[in-house]
Structure 1
Amino acid sequence: MRPRLALAALALAGVCALQLFAMLLAPPRYLPHTVTVRLAPGESLALGRAELAAPRAASRQFSVRRDAGGRWWLRNDDPAQAAVLVRGAERLHSGSLPLAAGQRLQAGAALFEIVAADAGRTVLRDGRHTWDYDGALLLRDGEVQPACPDASLAARLAGLWNRVAPGFFALSRPLAFGGNLFCGNRLAVPGLDSGRLTLARDAARRQVLNVHGAQPILLHDGGHWLDVARREHLLDGVEAIAVGRTRFALSARGDSLRLEPAREVELFAEPKTILPAGVAWSWGERSLWRFAPPSTLAWCAALGVFLLAAAAGLRSASPAPKPAGWAKLALSCAIPACAVLLLAMQRLGAAPGTGWALLLAWAALWHALLWSRRLPLLGAVAVLLLGAGLLVQLELGLGARDSAWLRHVETSCVLLGAGLPLGLLLLDGVARGTLSRMATEWLLFALALGALAGLVLQVAFGNETGVFEVQPVEFAKLALAALSAHCLALATGAGSEVRSWRGWLRMLAPILLFVLLVAVALVQVDDYSPLILLLVWGAVSFLAWCLATGRRLQAALTGGLCCALLGAALVLQSVGPGLTGGFYAERFQVWADPAAHPHTGQQMLLGARAVAGGGWLGADGLLGLASLGQAGGDALRIPAVQDDFAPSFLLNRHGLLGGLLLWALQAALLGCLLHAAVAAWQGALAAGDFRRAWLGRFQCFLLAGGAAFLGGHFLLSWGTNLALFPIMGQPMSFLSSGGSHLLFFICPLLAFGVASVQSFEENPTCRSTSNTKS
């Protein structure tokens, strides 16, 4: 074991050295620290992408003006890219306006009179109908409209609930203007594109008109007409302005308006640029090691996490831990506390430099490598994969043209620092069997309940990207694998519990219910890859159960069916151009002939170009060593390159040889997980008591299910990047910047796997197998 530890430590040190060299070799990049605008009373000036250093701003985004009294005004000149004005706790969208009774609204070819408008309801009249909207339900002449034909199941259920629920308990749903169909909460307006105009409640529960896009919406108020999206806003009391992902802290003093850009700011090779008269920049250099004193709130959050982790660790520790045990416990608590400290600083607007986040990630990786007294191969491969993923994300951030790309590696480092040590600390007791079976079942119940709550929130309030910046689907995968592993462990070990159909129903009902709810949540989004992941997981879990129970024929049929499904992909590609209708058919058409769909197929075309440009030795011919910290090149033009197409960037930067090394590590990880599953099953057969036998079976099916999900991610991601499958929008495990996937799935699975392997080595086969069949 010592040579294995030495080799793994040497390899991890090499990966950390590459990350450090990438930061040291990165050329200096400059960005504006402040943008100062000076105007005399009565003057105005147009500001855009070049003057603001905001990559997502339009070429003419704002017009700022000083009136005769010296006050500053701002008008958004490009409604297609809206701006947000922050005044204290209020966030005002530049295309939003509260309605008032007596106003008139011109939208498309329709003219509306606002009869009443308050926090409770808005009444509109267009000469033919009267529309009554209370923030949740739209009434047409006092009658509820039928549901829209394309409405999702969640929208239909929300509409039915709003018909019977009291106003306080009704679900807020916006009123959408436009299109040609009266249904649900849609109000048809000739000449207005659907979704360009909405009416909804804001944070203060006011009903606010929201304009999206450049199509003009006119409002008659105070004797004159104004374009809602292009009206002027007084900047008195405005603290910040956000456009795209760039946020400007704002302050006005006399003839000067100062804007301090943050979050996403364009980077420059030299501190100079051409600016119009009246605009001046003060330059600053991108700092990878900046650090501001943390706030009291950040310190309190870190201290709370440290105390909670310490309490959980002491509860599962032995009565008299050795000094090494105390050191391990202290590190397992301190690293997550530091991660929460950095995360709180990021959220509070005082994010430290990337170097500090990288130091935290290094501490988590080395802590995981040295966690076990006898290093398992699973742990060594896992930390190398995590290190390789951080290297790719760091290269993406350092090679980008704006400052926002580094947030991906910073987020991954922070989540890794929080998830990996906490997972090793908390799941060690479950994997070793120090928790009772009842306690484990309650833990699984809480896990499943939390996952279901997250899915319900995503269906009700979120979209395909998640809800509240979190993707509950990733947590649901872990909960599904754990719950099904428990049910299969009971089914394969308790003969009396599964002899009747009622016993089988009791075992399978939780799994079937959870799969149904997961499928319902996933069907809400225009992406079928999660369903394919479920199919892969189900096939592997069923195959593991067949092999464990001696059903060789069923196992062979399952394996043959999986091979047939993979082979069917080639047939689908040949008939893809002939498929018609629907979102999925378009995906297959783009996959079969991307050149015929250059716009929708740009991900596939740019990804293929990046892979071809990498060759065997990378774009620099030295496996990417000569490009460490340098510009990312054309590979950064691939949409979602940091998520779905991170493998294309890897192959472009480090070549096919680098890709082969990554494939070998991924195959080794899957092999280690499956080997650990087999060892757990053998330990269950040799166990001398029922609880130990159940734990071995639970470990077996959970590790096999986790390996199935990881294998599905690897398969779909490589298939997407190499054009073997249609684009399916799944991140590459360990490599992409999916924070929820890393925190809620990868870290717990790896922690459980490492603790399980360690428990096999420390708990040899029990003395008797007489209770195995009990």
Structure 2
Amino acid sequence: MAISLRLPFMVAPARSTTRRMPFDKRGFGEVFAAIIRAAARNTGLAVTLSLLTVLCGLQALALLRAPAAWMPAAITVKLAPGEAIALGQHELAAPQSDRNHLSLRRDAQDGWMLRNLSATRQVILLRDGGEQRMGSVPLQAGQRFQIDSALFEVRAADAGSVTFARDGHEWRYDGAVLYRDGHQQASCPESHVASKLLSLWNRAMPGLVTIPRPLSFGGNLYCDNRLGLAQVTSGAAQLARSNGELQLSAGNPDGDRAALLVHAAGSPTDLRKQEASLAGVNAIVVGHTRFQLNAEGGQLTLHPSRHVTLFSAPDLKLPEHVTWQWQQRALWDGGQSAAIWIGLAASLACMAAALAFAAIRNGGTAMLLAAGGVLACGVIALVSQRTGHAPSAACSMLLAASALLLWLALPGRLTLLTAAGVILLAAGLLSQLELGLGAPESSWLRYYQKSAAMLAIGAGLGGLLRLWAQRQTAHRAHLQQRSIEWLLALFAAVALAALAAQVLWGDETGVFDLQPVELAKLALTALTAHCLALRFSWHNGPQKLSEHGARWLQLIAPALLFLALLGLSLVQVDDFSPLILLLVWSTAMAFAYALAARNRKLAGALIAIVLTAIGAIVYLRCAGTDDLIRWGFYADRFLVWLNPAEHPHTGQQLLLGARAISDGGWLGADHWLGLRSLGMTAGSAVQIPAVQDDFAASFFLNRHGLAGGLLLWAAQAALLAGITFTAARAYQAGAAARDFRHAWSGRFRYFALCGGGAFVLGHFLLSWGTNLAIFPIMGQPMSFLSAGGSHLLFFLCPLLAFSAISAQSLEGE
């Protein structure tokens, strides 16, 4: 039996070739209307894809236009027995070394000998058993060491502590605390509260959990971890833990160099003129540049890696005993690029298959494979970079583009928040690539490569989480409230452990090349959102006053405890920007609570406080003050901010940033919004300290002008507006819910999005305020633009994933 299928816009076949059937205007109108409706539904996606294509295309154009750059693949030094040569920044192509940094000497008996000539920078020798810093030595019992005319006798020394004596006083140092005749010294007069608390912690806690602090020799004060010596410059020498043992090393005094002698069995050794044999040394680090060593008789070959100076041509005048083997910078291949190319090709194929099969509901498995493939490629890229074999810039570009495309291809309606986030990520990667290609050093591309790898990992994990959430919603499967609370508690414990690791083994820059503070901010937001969401069910609980008090502590204690611990950790940083960031977050969360609780008095009070703060900033900026000198450390930042020209050294960052912005003007330094300078040199803007991080906005304005900055501000405003819209919808869903689970879920999403948006707003305000001299200099990266891998992986990607899941859940409800 034949079946005839006729659509509304189809006509029957003509019976005669000379007669034309009438045109079906109604059917054509329905099809045209359907096309218009489909286009209207996908306008946002089309615009987002177009902008993403343009930004990725600009990255590819920058790679194509990048001029050839050359650097030494091998540096060969040939010396006869008894000869010596001084090497430095010019001969070693080490941009962060001194002009004459080290001395190489060939000894007839001991072979190649090395001595550090720099008064301020270290030289590190790497062996299979560990590392040795030139100018340092582990102390042993029976030794004596002398700092100028002050002679100390070492009575006992082991891996845990060292005891030495002078002038009838006995000193003991355990790597954290200095004891004089068995008693801890008093705090120094200028010590801050954080330093005093740290001293109390080190004194009370066992050695395993104490925070290492070096012992400094010199100066006129006996206090804290300072051992005063008359007529010796403060910091002339220091004793600190390194490689599991306490080592004495020459300090870096600003004045005259003090003599530092160690008396052992033989003749005294001057640590400032210490000479070490290169026998058994695999590599050395000179000014952050690492050199692999290969010695063969009278020839020593150094293979530089990381922080190597780039040259426009393989031509350089070198000393007689030094020769270079040149290599061209590779932008299109290198490292584990082949494996990543294959993985990305498979991921893109799975993505295309998922989109093609979405209509018949068979695309879930393919999209799952695509997200897993992007995640695997990101991990490979990050591990390769950490092992010194980073993938090429072109490979990183495709990796980042695939991650962004995956974010748009995942199921669910495209929201303003997701679209703005993708555009900001692409713009930030473009700026980091321009900086990497324009800097005269090989290591600057690592920021772009790391951001691309982190983005792929974050997008892959976020994609898997979104697919899991979609499946849970489709099967009506939800986590129990108790399970959610256990997960939040586990999240808080992990964040606290990471913060503790930074305090114990890290510094202000983080630990193990990561910033646990970013994870802590996310955990703090989640905990607080949970407590505030439960607060709205207050009247459904116990009615007795005593039970109310216990319930109040149960609800809010986790957030307060975590906030206190996070604040204590951040206070240790010599910068008040973390406190300002927490203040912005706290104000925004309080305002969100006031709106949800319809508390007009609280909302009005918060608005008044914000207006007062703005007025105080304007007053300080316009009027200035001479009373700031009495404020100590923080006064310096305000004085530099108010009068940077009077502080040319400490105000260098602010002055260079202002000059870069001024050179950019409205249309960029090239007067073409940065299009003519794509891939070219970055000019003087690269000299701004922390230009890849805190002052990334100054480079962006220098490159793309204020017009480009206005477009960036519009995208940032769209992101914040998207967060606000999604949070408002979540609050409405929670308010309209008729059961506890849906009500808690809506309120939790509302407060979590408000908290995440508050942190992003704080980063925007602090970064723009720092770059535009609205605020004193505060070290906070600009979200999406700065090369902050931890901020991207531990905060931004989870925030975008959570917002997408929230929008998807709201559609399902």
Counterpart for residue 577 of structure 2:
529
Counterpart for residue 482 of structure 2:
438
- Consecutive unaligned residues in structure 1, runs of 5 or more: 307-320, 764-774
Deviation at 1:556, TM superposition (A): 2.5
2:420 partner SS: helix
1:597-616 aligned at under 5 Å gives the runs 597-616=647-666
Aligned AA for 2:240? A
Q: Are the structure 2 counterparts of residues 616 and 282 from structure 1 closer, same or farther at C-alpha, using a change threshold of 3 Å? A: same
Do the aligned residues in 1 keep the contact of 2:333 with 2:391 (CA within 8 Å)?
A: yes
Counterpart for residue 766 of structure 1:
none
Moved more, 686-695 or 115-124: 115-124
Deviation at 1:262, TM superposition (A): 0.3
1:281 partner SS: strand
Answering whether residue 320 of structure 2 is matched by residue 277 of structure 1, we say yes
Deviation at 1:756, TM superposition (A): 0.9
Counterpart for residue 452 of structure 1:
496
User: What are the Cα deviations for residues 553-605 of structure 1, in whole angstroms up to 9, with x where unaligned?
Assistant: 32233223212211220112234341213122111111111111111111111
Distance 1:378 1:637 in 2: 34
Query: Structure 1 length normalisation: TM-score?
Result: 0.91
Counterpart for residue 333 of structure 2:
290
2:303 partner SS: strand
Query: Greater CA radius of gyration, 1 or 2?
Result: 2
Do the aligned residues in 2 keep the contact of 1:154 with 1:459 (CA within 8 Å)?
A: no
Distance 1:574 1:138 in 2: 46
Counterpart for residue 100 of structure 1:
140
Counterpart for residue 679 of structure 1:
729
1:627 partner SS: coil
Counterpart for residue 255 of structure 1:
298
Distance 2:542 2:589 in 1: 18
Distance 1:429 1:546 in 2: 34
RMSD between aligned residues:
2.5
User: What are the Cα deviations for residues 354-373 of structure 1, in whole angstroms up to 9, with x where unaligned?
Assistant: 22222211111100011134
User: What are the Cα deviations for residues 271-315 of structure 1, in whole angstroms up to 9, with x where unaligned?
Assistant: 0101000100000000013334599xx99xx9xxx9xxxxxxxxx
1:141-156 aligned at under 5 Å gives the runs 141-150=181-190
Counterpart for residue 720 of structure 2:
670
Aligned AA for 1:267? L
Aligned AA for 2:482? M
Answering whether residue 756 of structure 2 is matched by residue 706 of structure 1, we say yes
Answering whether residue 90 of structure 2 is matched by residue 90 of structure 1, we say no
Deviation at 1:164, TM superposition (A): 6.3
Distance 1:498 1:407 in 2: 57
Do the aligned residues in 2 keep the contact of 1:109 with 1:191 (CA within 8 Å)?
A: no
1:720 partner SS: helix
Q: Are the structure 2 counterparts of residues 69 and 460 from structure 1 closer, same or farther at C-alpha, using a change threshold of 3 Å? A: closer
Counterpart for residue 355 of structure 1:
394
Aligned AA for 2:679? G
User: What are the Cα deviations for residues 659-699 of structure 1, in whole angstroms up to 9, with x where unaligned?
Assistant: 00000000000000000000001111222421111111100
Do the aligned residues in 1 keep the contact of 2:661 with 2:701 (CA within 8 Å)?
A: yes
1:522-601 aligned at under 5 Å gives the runs 522-578=570-626, 579-581=628-630, 582-601=632-651
Q: Are the structure 2 counterparts of residues 359 and 738 from structure 1 closer, same or farther at C-alpha, using a change threshold of 3 Å? A: same
Counterpart for residue 758 of structure 1:
808
Aligned AA for 1:329? L
Deviation at 1:170, TM superposition (A): 6.2
Match of 1:419 among 449, 455, 458: 458
Distance 2:754 2:129 in 1: 49
Do the aligned residues in 2 keep the contact of 1:109 with 1:190 (CA within 8 Å)?
A: no
Distance 2:554 2:764 in 1: 33
Distance 1:413 1:511 in 2: 33
1:206-285 aligned at under 5 Å gives the runs 206-213=245-252, 215=257, 216-285=259-328
Match of 1:112 among 132, 152, 167: 152
Counterpart for residue 539 of structure 2:
495
Counterpart for residue 32 of structure 1:
72
Distance 1:705 1:527 in 2: 22
Deviation at 1:194, TM superposition (A): 3.4
Aligned AA for 2:602? Q
Distance 1:597 1:505 in 2: 49
Query: Structure 2 length normalisation: TM-score?
Result: 0.87
Distance 1:196 1:430 in 2: 60
User: What are the Cα deviations for residues 20-70 of structure 1, in whole angstroms up to 9, with x where unaligned?
Assistant: 111111000000000000011111111110000000111111111111237
1:367 partner SS: helix
Counterpart for residue 402 of structure 1:
441
Distance 1:116 1:551 in 2: 66
Pairs aligned (count): 742
Counterpart for residue 331 of structure 1:
370
Distance 1:290 1:179 in 2: 54
Deviation at 1:171, TM superposition (A): 5.9
Distance 1:615 1:134 in 2: 55
Q: Are the structure 2 counterparts of residues 206 and 728 from structure 1 closer, same or farther at C-alpha, using a change threshold of 3 Å? A: closer
Do the aligned residues in 2 keep the contact of 1:116 with 1:123 (CA within 8 Å)?
A: yes
User: What are the Cα deviations for residues 380-416 of structure 1, in whole angstroms up to 9, with x where unaligned?
Assistant: 1110000000000110110001011111111111111
The alignment-based identity, stated in percent, is 50
Deviation at 1:620, TM superposition (A): 0.6
Deviation at 1:445, TM superposition (A): 1.1
Aligned AA for 2:413? R
Answering whether residue 735 of structure 2 is matched by residue 696 of structure 1, we say no
1:630 partner SS: coil
Deviation at 1:379, TM superposition (A): 1.2
Q: Are the structure 2 counterparts of residues 701 and 34 from structure 1 closer, same or farther at C-alpha, using a change threshold of 3 Å? A: same
Deviation at 1:720, TM superposition (A): 1.1
1:224 partner SS: coil
Deviation at 1:202, TM superposition (A): 3.0
Deviation at 1:87, TM superposition (A): 0.7
Do the aligned residues in 1 keep the contact of 2:337 with 2:395 (CA within 8 Å)?
A: no
Q: Are the structure 2 counterparts of residues 119 and 587 from structure 1 closer, same or farther at C-alpha, using a change threshold of 3 Å? A: closer
Do the aligned residues in 2 keep the contact of 1:604 with 1:727 (CA within 8 Å)?
A: yes
Counterpart for residue 774 of structure 2:
724
Moved more, 670-679 or 571-580: 571-580
Do the aligned residues in 2 keep the contact of 1:31 with 1:268 (CA within 8 Å)?
A: yes
Do the aligned residues in 1 keep the contact of 2:235 with 2:252 (CA within 8 Å)?
A: no
Q: Are the structure 2 counterparts of residues 494 and 530 from structure 1 closer, same or farther at C-alpha, using a change threshold of 3 Å? A: same
Match of 1:19 among 23, 45, 59: 59
Distance 2:654 2:213 in 1: 36
Counterpart for residue 192 of structure 1:
232
Q: Are the structure 2 counterparts of residues 176 and 659 from structure 1 closer, same or farther at C-alpha, using a change threshold of 3 Å? A: same
Do the aligned residues in 2 keep the contact of 1:719 with 1:725 (CA within 8 Å)?
A: yes
Aligned AA for 1:465? T
Aligned AA for 1:362? A
Aligned AA for 1:462? G
Distance 1:40 1:387 in 2: 55
Do the aligned residues in 2 keep the contact of 1:108 with 1:189 (CA within 8 Å)?
A: no
Distance 2:219 2:526 in 1: 46
2:624 partner SS: helix
Deviation at 1:163, TM superposition (A): 5.2
Counterpart for residue 140 of structure 1:
180
Do the aligned residues in 1 keep the contact of 2:336 with 2:390 (CA within 8 Å)?
A: no
Aligned AA for 2:312? A
Deviation at 1:138, TM superposition (A): 3.4
Deviation at 1:488, TM superposition (A): 0.9
Deviation at 1:463, TM superposition (A): 2.8
Counterpart for residue 768 of structure 1:
none
User: What are the Cα deviations for residues 621-650 of structure 1, in whole angstroms up to 9, with x where unaligned?
Assistant: 110000000000111111111111111111
Counterpart for residue 734 of structure 1:
784
Deviation at 1:149, TM superposition (A): 4.6
Match of 1:655 among 661, 684, 705: 705
Distance 2:231 2:392 in 1: 50
Match of 1:519 among 567, 570, 576: 567
Moved more, 432-441 or 624-633: 432-441
Counterpart for residue 313 of structure 1:
none
Do the aligned residues in 2 keep the contact of 1:491 with 1:498 (CA within 8 Å)?
A: no
Counterpart for residue 368 of structure 1:
407
